[in-house]
Amino acid sequence: MNLKNFDFWDIGLTKLSVFFATLFLISVWSSFRNFVVKIHWIWFLVIALLLAIKPMITVFKK
């Protein structure tokens, strides 16, 4: 892995991706679903995956 090439944007996008992935897990978990979030879980998953694209390209670029 080549994490030395991470710039400001890659680090920020990674943090946002982890944030939305956490919201996805919270919204899927049945005991917290109605208490924390009322947005459908698929939106959190899509946003997390979209935000993770550029950092993953940077990591796996040769």
Question: Each residue of 8-51: pLDDT tens digit?
Answer: 998 999 999 999 999 998 888 866 666 666 788 899 999 999 99
In the structure, what pLDDT confidence band is assigned to residue 59 with cuts at 50, 70 and 90? confident
According to DSSP, residue 5 is labeled G
Q: Which residue has the tokens 């550029």?
A: 54
Q: What is the pLDDT of residue 12?
A: 94
Contact criterion met (CB below 8 Å) for 61 and 5: yes
CA 13 to mean position of chain CA atoms: 8
